[in-house]
Structures are given as structure tokens and as C-alpha cells.
Amino acid sequence: MKQRLVVIGNGMAGMRTVEELLTAAPDKYAITVFGAEPYGNYNRIMLSSVLCGEKTIEDIVINNRQWYLDNGITLYAGEAKAVTRIDRKNKKVYAQDGTFAGYDRLLIATGSKAVIPEIAGNDLEGVISFRDIVDVNKMLSYSRSYKKAVVLGGGLLGLEAANGLVLRGMDVTVIHNHEILLNRQMDRPAAKMLQTELEQRGLKFKMAAKLKQLLGDENGHITSVCFDDGSQLECDLFIMAIGVRPNMALAQEAGIYCERGIVVNDTLQSYDPSIYAVGECIQHRGATFGLVAPLFEQAKVCANHLSAHGVAEYITLPTATKLKVTGINLFSVGDFQGDEHSESLCFTDPAIGIYKKLVIKADKLIGAVLYGDTTDGSWYQQLLEQEETISEIRDALIFGKAYAG
């Protein structure tokens, strides 16, 4: 008789785990999936490509509803099917509309939620985050009827949203609380080159800005953005893109141990051995996750254990940063700032828009920033992950694998 596996969350991490499990142990579990969105599984990281017109919603669907049927998976999808309670004592989960399912193993893959700034006006009409298909459809609708958009956040998601809205014909200003864009992923020279290139594409920037409040009209729709220095920006659409937080409230209410996320061990088990968790909702060895590469690695390890093969362990590795804006090539991995014990190798050619910085410590590569030419990004990442000694190729390292490898 098959064991019962219930998955809470129909996103990329949860469904990649199910895909891996179907390959490793196709007959082990009767699988039930609960998802809060009324779709099959789709590629959330490609939403920016839908926004800028390079893809359609259909293009980014990974598993349509037929896939679930073909694999014998029971899918409960839609707002009414969002799980609201985990009964650990009786091993059951309950959805908003009363639908329930019993489990032998439970996989929590509830993802993350957008950080909402605590400012007056954050509940006005026209103020949204950039997280799902509903958000993208709202942004597309606004781009057809309104002119002025403001994006809060000069990180990856904010820049991708801003670029998409510019391509849709809107007048877009990005406001960022730091002096440079992508300040967690890039150093100043690379960030300045990026800003210049984005400005040439029509984006505007207000840097090192401190937001005060959002103002609306008598109908409760946003009209302007106010700053601490007294300045204002007209605004019809306000996008919040200042980060995400693990969606762990459901686990917390069930008494599952959480800190910044659902705490899991190296096999992706929570403190309850029958409950696993993967993706942006988890915390592993102090780290939380917002990029897709570690989520897929977690899925492999989790499926390995759920299938009772049980040999893999998840290791958090440095994750590379890439911006999904067509025609802009940037790559960042590891510690690109360094310290007093490290050394930086730099190469720059402003005429053709190329900048490279490598950070070396104890004869090992510990970080890299590439702008304009990212050809060797994966090679640098491999050197970094494998902690290879680079002393013999050090002098040619900055010129890439063709010269140093």
C-alpha cells in the first residue's frame, strides 16, 4: 500500500521535489498537492519575461493540470484550497474551504512573501508587489491605461519590473535606499555601469532615497510618492520590490520550529521527522534562499530521502546572481568585497562596457563580479565552489578560462 505524501505549495521548489520523487520512487507515494493559485506549476522567475513581452503565461507553465492527472497526483488549486491548518497530532492538513487530506509524510513548500514597507498609503489601489501571475496581469493592465510607475527597490526583482514597464511604454522611476544598484550583488564600478546602461534604456533613478508616505485621491488610488527631503513623484502604479520573507506562519501555528524560516537539517527535515520543507520558506544552517538554483538542489536531496535512498545531504553553496534583462550581462558570486587579507584583480574597458573583478584569498578565488562579458562566469563559480588553488594560473585568471585554463 502506498504511503500518503501531502505537499503544501504548488510552486517550483515543491513540484521539482515531486518530479525528482516520481523519477526515484514512482510507486512509493499517493501524492496530494495543495496550491493557493488556480494554476498548475509555473516558472515564477520568468514572470519578468512575461512582463516585458518576451514570453506569454502559457510559455512559462512547467506542469499543466494534465500532468498531475497523468502522474496520479490529486491537485487542489485556488484560493479556497489554500491550507490554513496543519494538525500534526492526527497528521492531517485542512484547506480554507474545509478540504482535508491525511499524510504519512508532509512537504511544506510555501515559498516567500513580499516585504511590505511600513509607510502610510501602502494599502492604496495601484500599490502592488511583483510575485505572481495576478501581479503581472495587473501591471500589464496599468501599462495600457496609465503612464507613471514607481518601483521601490533597486535589486534584481525591482530592476526587472522597471525594465518591463518601460518596454510597455510607462514612465518609470526606480527609488533605492542605497547609493548604488544591486548593492548586495555588485561593487560600485559595475553598479554604475549598469545604471548608465539602464538610463540609456529610459529608466530613471532616485538613489539613496528615504520614502516618507504614499498619497492617494478621494477614490483611494495612489497619486504620488513623498520623500523625507520634501520632494514628490507623480505615481499611477507603485511596485514594491524590496525583498521577500519566508512564508512560515502556517508552520509556526502548527508548532514547527522556525527562526527566520522553517528550520531544516541537511536532509531537509524539520524538527518533526515526518515533515520536510524546501524552497524559500526554509532556513538551513542560518541561511534563507531567494534564488532558484539552491531550491532545485534542495529538491534533489529531499526527494532522495523521501524515496528512502537517504544518502544525499544538502550543502549551501554560493549562488550566482544574474539579471534577466535582455542585452545586459552581469554575473556575481561569492564575496566580491573581500577584506584586509584578500586581494582584488580588476580589468575594465569602459569603451566596450566590460568590467571584471576577482577576489583572491589564500590562493583561492572567493568572489567575482563580471559586467558586459560573463562568458567565464560558470568557470569562476566552479573554481570558487571547489576551492581550487589558483596560484599557477593567477596571472592569467582575470582573462578567463581560454587563457588560464
pTM (two decimals): 0.93
Q: Write out the DSSP string of 82-112.
A: SEEEEETTTTEEEETTS-EEE-SEEEE---E
Domains of the chain, earliest start first: 3-113+244-306 (3.50.50.60), 127-240 (3.50.50.60), 330-404 (3.30.390.30)
Q: Write out the DSSP string of 331-371.
A: EEEE-SS--TT-EEEEEEEGGGTEEEEEEEETTEEEEEEEE
Cα 270 from Cα 282, distance rounded (Å): 9
Cα 347 from Cα 204, distance rounded (Å): 28
What letter represents residue 213's amino acid?
Q
For 263, phi then psi, to 5°, come to -75, 125
Q: What is the DSSP letter of 152?
A: E
With H, G, I as helix, E, B as strand and everything else as coil, classify residue 140: helix
Q: In DSSP terms, which residues pair with 152 in a beta bridge?
A: 175, 240
Q: How many CB atoms lie within 10 A of CB 178?
A: 14
The C-alpha angle with vertex 386 and arms to 381 and 389, in degrees rounded to 5, equals 100
List, for the chain, all residue ranges whose pLDDT scores fall below the cut of 70: 405
Q: Which residues of 179-201 are buried (b: 16+ CB within 10 A; e: fewer)?
A: ebbbeebbbebbbbbbbebbeee
End-to-end CA distance of the chain: 54
User: Residue 404: its pLDDT value, please?
Assistant: 81
User: Residue 82: its pLDDT value, please?
Assistant: 97
Q: Is the dihedral of CA 33, 34, 38, 39 positive or negative?
A: negative
Q: How many CB atoms lie within 10 A of CB 225?
A: 25
User: Residue 405: its pLDDT value, please?
Assistant: 65
**Do 182 and 216 contact (CB within 8 A), yes or no?**
no
Cα 167 from Cα 143, distance rounded (Å): 10
To which H or E segment does residue 157 belong?
helix 156-167
For 201, phi then psi, to 5°, come to -90, -5
